[in-house]
Amino acid sequence: MPPLSKFSDRYLDVPRLCCEVGVPLADQPGLGHNRWHPDIPPAIEIGPGEEVILESPAYDDYQIHDTSDMDELRNVELTRMHPLAGPVRVDGARPGDLLEVEILGVEPLSGIAFSNILPGTPGLLGELFPDGYRSTWHARGAIAESPDLPGIRIPAQPHPGTIGVAPSHELMQRWFEREQPLFESGRAFAPDARNALLGGLGPDQAAVAARTQPPRENGGNMDINKLGPGAKVYFPVFVEGALLSLGDHHLSAGDGECSFNAMEMDGVTWLRANVISDGIRRYAVKTPIVRPSPIEARFGADRYLGFTGFSFSEDEQTYQDASFAAREAMLRAVDYLTTLGYSGEQAYTILSVAPVQFHISCIVTLPNVSVTLYLPVDIFDRDVLPRR
């Protein structure tokens, strides 16, 4: 009988960067990097309109395991954060262009994800849970379940949390000058050569390479939970070939990724890249533009419970501070979930990984912004609505 297909495998012979499960990035030197720098050599090259498959470890670089205890969380080294697959050089992409990246598919690699509260990390309510919390999630096809949160089933919406292109030297210097006033207070991640992996670059580059934790003009750690299959991202190009990289895969994430962890997993992203010539000037682009995935976990309009937050607490008044209002909405949701028998840590975890929606309901009322957190009630196996 004739062969079913001219392709040798189910991935249609698309070029691929493969990640070995459980092996840190330092022991997979051809896979990627964990800092931004314009001189990192490409790991793979494709032409416009061509496809590539990128596999990466989870954001923790395989430091966390589902057989360990809290000591493991206390010892996570954040200088190893965000092992990224790439860079991918796209032939013909030049500074001033836009790189159009279409996400064709995203899936788990090992099938295990974590949504831990790491002690000392800057989550929205991190200071309330200083001891941390462990939770493991299992990918069940389109459903994620956790033995640490029984009775909850969350629709999987896999996506890369970090995806971006390389900065130019000038842009990287601008980042440093802009963020430097925040380094001493710990409100930004300063360049740090410890555990820096830059595709073979030396210590001089490691000392100045940009950390990947915040999103910037090049994209990066945007944590947009709508970057699943069918999504498109338009990146401004700053260097020849664009040099696209990605990682930090999530099995699911709520708006805000409030606890500093989504459902963090090692993962696989299949994408196609194209070049829009002179796109930065033509479309006045300064930061990435996103077209969301058409595949989204949606519930009926009445299948959410909304928690309101404003720019004040019982003892403090701010002025039109949307972040403060979002935190207050989160606190109200945590309070509510604890009345249903969840611990504060469990509630905080649920709100970070479930498909919750943060809406700015009103931003012009003085002095209080109104923010609403919408929690889908159908992720629970019981009725969680208030009853008479």
DSSP string, 101-152: EEEEEEEEEEEEEE--B-TT---TTGGG-TT-B--EEEEETTEEE-TTSTTB
| Residue 10 pLDDT exceeds 90 | no
Examine domains 16-291 and 304-379 and report if their fold is the same: no
Write the DSSP assignment of 156-174 as a string of letters: ---EEEEEEEPPPHHHHHH
Q: Which of 218, 242, 232, 235 is nearest to 93 (CA)?
A: 242
Percent of the chain, pLDDT > 70?
100
Report pLDDT digits (tens) over 194-235. 999 999 999 999 999 999 999 999 999 999 999 999 999 999
Longest Cα pair distance anywhere in the chain, in angstroms? 77
If one counts every other C-beta atom within 10 angstroms of the C-beta of residue 16, the result is 17
Q: Given a cut of 90, is residue 141 above it in pLDDT?
A: no
Q: Indicate the DSSP class of residue 352.
A: H
Task: Give me the pLDDT at residue 140, please.
Answer: 86
The two three-digit tokens of residue 222, written as one number: 């945007």
In the structure encoding, which two tokens stand for residue 306, read together? 């909304």
pLDDT in tens, 21-68: 999 999 999 999 999 999 999 999 999 999 999 999 999 999 999 988
Burial of 19 from C-beta contacts in 10 A (0-12 / 13-18 / 19+)? buried
pLDDT for 310 beyond 90: yes
- Domain 304-379: which CATH class? alpha beta
Q: pLDDT tens, 313-365? A: 999 999 999 999 999 999 999 999 999 999 999 999 999 999 999 999 999 99
Structural element, H or E, at residue 358 = strand 357-362
* Arithmetic mean of pLDDT over the chain: 96
Q: Where exactly are the structural domains of the chain?
A: 16-291, 304-379
What confidence tens digit (pLDDT) does each residue in 250-283 have?
Answer: 999 999 999 999 999 999 999 999 999 999 999 9
Place of tokens 């990035």: 25
**Three-class DSSP labels, 32-83:** EECCECCCCCCCEEECCCCEEEEEECCCCCCCCCCCCCHHHHHCCCHHHCCC
Question: Nearest to residue 267, comparing CAs of 45, 38, 93, 62?
Answer: 62
d(CA 101, CA 44): 16
Q: Is the pLDDT of residue 240 over 90?
A: yes
Which listed CATH number (1.10.510.10, 3.40.50.1370, 2.60.40.10, 2.60.120.580) goes with 16-291? 2.60.120.580
Q: Each residue of 105-117: pLDDT tens digit?
A: 999 999 999 999 9
How far apart CA 33 and CA 35 sit, in angstroms, is 6
CA distances from 168 to 94, 174, 214, 235 (A): 11, 10, 17, 13
Q: Is the pLDDT confidence value at 189 over 90?
A: yes
